[in-house]
């Protein structure tokens, strides 16, 4: 996989609900398309997205073939401690993408 | 009191001027960026500095810019900070390149540079070439187009203009017949734009990917049932130069979002 963008607020108050946005560069091949030579392009989608906050899973999504390329996800969580958000995308070809973002909680 | 009011007015005017300079120019005289034909939702997507999908390519281009290939030098090692060294470049291209004796576009300039580092050229429409072009073009965001069409570029420009006005394909239509004579009219569900190229490489929603202007030209040629030229062909570079000149004064919007 080739790239991703994540956005987490740099600062938050403890207990505050924060919005997290994540997007990955991926073709999300649905397995129904043909290439210019008429060969079926095998299905290759991001099947799983996971977000961990200081090691604890706070969000997980299972993606399906109907979802557009470069999937964009937005969700919320509660700010608890300063630390790291870790993002993981897994696709059907065994490819993966990871990203990290820091947050300061006061 | 009157003097104070005058000073306040002056400061406000100056601030307004500074703001106006930073804001992209979406239309000038009778020239209108494709941006002005979009729905407000798509306009908002383009101007969102997080969720504009074209920025995925810009990010990747930035990585490529900084990464040195094996036995080679990174772009940074010669060109330094792209924000300074590449500022305004996309507004000037396509441009005449003396070392090859013809007009070349940004993609070809990147590949020429790779050739000097003894790296193989990146084929057209590959993710890496799109990413690098998008990253370099992004550095000119908001800068008005100012291509040189005189001197050694004059022949290319004339060829581009001729190609623009040439009827082609089974539908026997030229670029100008839609993008000049029928701007604002509808083609099924689409509103016909002026065909400005100030946003390339841009994220096209129906393709769900970032694309070069040459892919768009080829797509347009196929739409009038004409045989498209190859991406990177001199025919398309000339056409790109003419199309870019048509949008002179419009801001570079790369990576734009279009339907």
Closest by CA to A96, choosing from A48, A32, A63, is A48
Q: State residue B152 phi and psi, 5-degree precision.
A: -65, -15
How far apart CA B217 and CA B197 sit, in angstroms, is: 10
- pLDDT value for B2: 57
Mean pLDDT (whole number) for B145-160: 96
Residue B178 among the catalytic residues: no
The verdict on A33 touching B (C-beta cutoff 8 Å) is no
| Cross-chain CB nearest to A70 (options B50, B53, B63) | B53
The verdict on A7 touching B (C-beta cutoff 8 Å) is yes
The three-point CA angle A68-B231-B103 to 5° equals 130
Q: Which chain A residues are closer than 8 Å to B222 by Cβ?
A: none
Mean pLDDT (whole number) for A14-28: 95
Closest by CA to B111, choosing from B135, B128, B91, is B128
- pLDDT value for A104: 95
> With an 8 Å Cβ cutoff, are B50 and A7 in contact?
yes
Q: Which chain A residues are closer than 8 Å to B59 by Cβ?
A: 3, 5
Please list the alpha-helical segments (H only) found in chain B.
2-22, 40-47, 54-66, 75-79, 82-85, 89-92, 106-116, 127-138, 154-165, 175-179, 213-223, 234-246
pLDDT (tens digit per residue) in B174-228: 999 999 999 999 988 889 999 999 999 999 999 999 999 999 999 999 999 999 9
Find the largest Cα–Cα distance for chain B: 72
How far apart CA B239 and CA B118 sit, in angstroms, is: 29
Torsion over CA of B237, B243, B249 and B254, rounded to 10 degrees? -70
Minimal Cα–Cα distance from A73 to chain B, Å?
10
The verdict on A1 touching B (C-beta cutoff 8 Å) is no
pLDDT tier, B22 (very low <50, low <70, confident <90, very high otherwise): low
Torsion over CA of B197, B198, B201 and B202, rounded to 10 degrees? -90
The verdict on A25 touching B (C-beta cutoff 8 Å) is yes
Q: Which chain A residues are closer than 8 Å to B51 by Cβ?
A: 21, 23, 72
- pLDDT value for B139: 96
- pLDDT value for B7: 53
SS3 A18: strand
Domains present along chain A, CATH in parentheses: 3-105 (2.60.40.10)
Mean pLDDT (whole number) for B157-178: 96
ipTM rounded to 2 decimals: 0.89
| Cross-chain CB nearest to A70 (options B50, B63, B208) | B208
How do strand A46-53 and strand A56-62 relate by DSSP bridges? antiparallel
- pLDDT value for B11: 52
pTM to 2 decimals?
Answer: 0.89
Provide, rounded to the nearest whole percent, the portion of chain B with pLDDT above 90. 84
Mean pLDDT (whole number) for A35-63: 95
Provide, rounded to the nearest whole percent, the portion of chain A with pLDDT above 90. 93
CA atoms within 13 A on the CB side of B27: 10
Is-contact A22 A72, C-beta < 8 A?
yes
SS3 B258: strand
Q: Which chain B residues are closer than 8 Å to A27 by Cβ?
A: 208-209
Q: Using CA of residue B6, residue B12, residue B13, residue B14, what is the dihedral sign? A: positive
């Amino acid at each position: 996989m080739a790239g991703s963008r994540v956005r987490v607020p740099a600062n938050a108050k403890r207990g505050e609900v924060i919005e997290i946005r994540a997007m990955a560069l991926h073709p999300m091949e649905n397995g129904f398309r043909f290439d210019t030579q008429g060969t079926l392009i095998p299905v290759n989608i991001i099947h799983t997205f996971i977000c961990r906050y200081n090691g604890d899973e706070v969000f997980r999504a299972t993606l399906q073939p109907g979802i557009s390329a470069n999937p964009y996800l937005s969700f919320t969580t509660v700010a608890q401690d300063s630390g790291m958000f870790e993002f993981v995308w897994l696709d059907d070809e065994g490819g993966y993408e990871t990203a990290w973002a820091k947050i300061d909680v006061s | 009191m009157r003097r104070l009011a005058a000073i306040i007015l002056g400061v406000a005017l100056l601030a307004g001027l500074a703001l106006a300079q930073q804001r992209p120019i979406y239309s000038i005289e009778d020239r209108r960026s494709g941006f002005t034909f979009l729905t407000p939702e798509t306009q908002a997507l383009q101007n969102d500095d997080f969720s504009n999908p074209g920025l995925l390519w810009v990010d990747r281009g930035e990585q490529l810019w900084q990464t040195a290939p094996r036995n080679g030098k990174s772009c940074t090692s010669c060109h330094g900070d792209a924000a300074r060294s590449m500022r305004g470049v996309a507004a000037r291209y396509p441009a005449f390149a003396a070392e090859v004796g013809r007009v070349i576009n940004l993609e070809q300039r990147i590949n020429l540079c790779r050739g000097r580092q003894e790296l193989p050229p990146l084929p057209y429409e590959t993710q890496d070439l799109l990413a690098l072009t998008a990253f370099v073009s992004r550095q000119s965001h908001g800068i008005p187009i100012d291509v040189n069409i005189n001197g050694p570029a004059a022949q290319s420009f004339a060829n581009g203009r001729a190609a623009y006005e040439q009827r082609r394909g089974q539908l026997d239509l030229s670029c100008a017949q839609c993008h000049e004579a029928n701007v604002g009219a509808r083609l099924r569900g689409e509103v016909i734009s002026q065909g400005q190229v100030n946003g390339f490489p841009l994220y096209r929603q129906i393709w769900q990917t970032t694309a070069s202007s040459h892919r768009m030209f080829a797509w347009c040629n196929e739409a009038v049932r004409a045989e498209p030229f190859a991406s990177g062909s001199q025919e398309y570079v000339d056409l790109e130069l003419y199309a870019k000149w048509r949008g002179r004064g419009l801001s570079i919007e790369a990576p734009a979002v279009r339907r």
